[in-house]
Amino acid sequence: MSIWSSLDLARAPSDGPVAFHDDLGPECLLDAYRHGLYPFPTATAERRALRRRAYRADVAAGRIRVLDGAGDRDPYAVAWCSPDPRPVILVDRARAQRSLRQHLRNRVDWRTTVDACFDRVLEHCRADRDPRWMTDALCASMRRLHEAGHAHSVEVWDGDELIGGTYGVRVGRVFSADSQFTLRSGAGKVAVADLVRRFAEAGGTAVDVQQDGDHARLLGARLVPRSRYLALLRAGDAGVGALPTGPLPARRLADA
């Protein structure tokens, strides 16, 4: 039985952690995504102690679950989140924002790829982040999921230079985009827009961007209830194909 099946997300907090659990192994990680959760690890004892103090009352009241850890590891090392509502890009309604389309019309050398350099995208996404939630353990499991065909990256290139990208985990008709990076203005947005376009062509339904905000809205995200997001996950993958992987000119998104 899945450890995540014991969580009652209908009664879980709408923001912040819904559980603490230290297992970041690839099997547990993929199962969490299938149940509508994503991890927010920390690598420092200080931040683990802060979490323990900050959420003591919620844990005591049963609003946040602390799931059994492995050995003597601290379950507060990994917070698991499932926001309600959830910021999601519905691919059949998505269209690149006007400013991005105008930007792309002058970027004749930009192109996009899928899974061309997953490790490099991971490293760029984790660079200069404070706190560094993309820990070594999380990245190791993401690489395992990539090798197994569950995690993917989209890269944006200017000639032979990698200038932006995004990565995440695919579960049936939903793609959960975990992070993105930008080394050239607009390149991260191009990566997500390209992911949405390719996922739509593969028969996908939604791209989850996990955290709401102006950036998410500019990419076309809209808030949906957690119950609807979980229903999208349960819809399965019948009729969904592989992501188109060939290199494509980024300027095609100007006409999306």
In this predicted model, what pLDDT tens digit does every residue of 201-223 receive, in sequence order?
Answer: 999 999 999 888 777 787 788 99
* pLDDT value at residue 23: 93
* pLDDT value at residue 108: 66
In this predicted model, what pLDDT tens digit does every residue of 128-161 receive, in sequence order?
Answer: 777 778 999 999 999 999 999 999 999 999 999 9
* pLDDT value at residue 214: 77
Residue range(s) in the chain whose domain bears CATH number 3.40.630.70: 86-255
In this predicted model, what pLDDT tens digit does every residue of 9-22 receive, in sequence order?
Answer: 988 999 999 999 99
Which one-letter amino acid corresponds to residue 248?
Answer: L
* Domain 86-255 fold: Aminopeptidase (3.40.630)
DSSP string covering 170-208: EETTEEEEEEEEESSTTHHHHHHHHHHHHHHHTT--EEE
In this predicted model, what pLDDT tens digit does every residue of 163-193 receive, in sequence order?
Answer: 999 999 999 999 999 999 999 988 998 999 9
- pTM confidence score: 0.93
